[in-house]
Amino acid sequence: MSRTITLEPYAGSWPNDDADAGFRSVVAEYSSVDGLATLDVLSHNKDIPIGALVAFIVGQYSASGSAALMEIGPRVIGQMDGIVSKAESVATDEARLEAYESLKAIVSWLKVPLNDPDWRSGGE
């Protein structure tokens, strides 16, 4: 699995209506930071090669979407997507606010087991 990767800052430009503008902006911001200083210390303190740490970070980031899907479940993701799609097809502030309230309710429901240490699936 040996590969050489050159870390480089991203200073691209993009139009305001670029669907990936938010992502590009974050890449531009964080790619100018030298994160290797932190990884050097972690590598030294944990006695783990820096390449293994970078592979771990890239692998974990790459799998995070799938992990989130498994944690939340395809049914809930489908419900959330349906709410957003409906609001975007109507394309009004009122529809988007209604979608926000619906998504807020789903998130509130998902947080119940995190916020209530006595909560048990299926009741008592």
CA atoms lying within 13 Å on the CB side of residue 72: 20
Which of residues 121 and 92 earns the better pLDDT score? 92
Handedness of CA 68, 70, 73, 74 (dihedral sign): positive
pLDDT of 50 strictly over 80: yes
Per-residue pLDDT at 124 exceeds 80? no
pLDDT grade, residue 39 (50/70/90)? very high
pLDDT tens sequence across 53-62: 999 999 998 9
pTM score, two decimals?
A: 0.60
Q: How far apart, in whole angstroms, are the C-alpha atoms of residue 105 and residue 72?
A: 14
Domain residue extents for the chain: 34-72, 74-115
CB within 8 Å of 5: residues ≥ 6 apart = 54
